[in-house]
């Protein structure tokens, strides 16, 4: 069980890496919202929800932290949707949508590790 949980954590991290990596490429480039960001978010969400159930654990879960991470992830999802829509309409993503995507993603990783 513990090994299975570790595998799901790796999948959770792959989701984070995909979202943040895709965003970083765009931050250094055209500053668009890409499909890969949506995929990373979906993978982090599904694996995160699986990890939110108390199985294969040797410690207690911090549900306050998990709830805040979920809220932040939903906000990132909203920004991805709004950014993609704005890009379709005007050809570019406003800075006020693009930058918070990366900052909030990093915030979630920092919350996960530091709290």
Which residue has the CB atom at the shortest distance from ligand HEM?
48
How many residues at the interface with ligand HEM, by CB under 6 A? 21
Q: Which of 4, 35, 52, 103 binds ligand HEM (CB under 6 A)?
A: 52
Q: Are 93 and 83 in contact (CB under 8 A)?
A: yes
Exposure string of 76-89, with b = 16+ CB inside 10 Å and e = fewer, is bbebbebbbebbee
Q: Give yes or no for residue 23 binding ligand HEM (CB under 6 A).
A: no
Determine contact, residues 90/65, Cβ cutoff 8 Å.
no
Question: How many other β-carbons are positioned within 10 Å of the β-carbon of residue 106?
Answer: 13
- Per CB under 6 A, the segment of 21-29, 30-38, 42-50, 88-96 that binds ligand HEM is 42-50
Figure out which of the listed residues 18, 43, 48, 97 binds ligand HEM, where binding follows CB under 6 A: 48
Interface ranges with ligand HEM (CB under 6 A): 9, 12-13, 16, 19, 44-45, 48-49, 51-52, 61, 66, 69-70, 73, 105, 108-109, 112-113
């Amino acid at each position: 069980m513990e090994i299975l949980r570790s595998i799901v954590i790796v999948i959770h991290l792959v989701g984070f890496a995909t979202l943040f990596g895709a965003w970083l490429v765009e931050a250094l480039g055209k500053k668009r919202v890409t499909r890969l960001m949506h995929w990373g978010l979906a993978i982090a969400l599904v694996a995160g929800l699986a990890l939110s159930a108390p199985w294969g654990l040797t410690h207690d879960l911090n549900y306050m932290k998990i709830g805040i991470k979920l809220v932040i992830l939903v906000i990132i999802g909203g920004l991805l949707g709004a950014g993609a829509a704005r890009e379709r309409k005007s050809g570019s993503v406003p800075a006020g949508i693009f930058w918070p995507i990366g900052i909030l993603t990093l915030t979630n990783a920092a919350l996960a590790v530091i709290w």
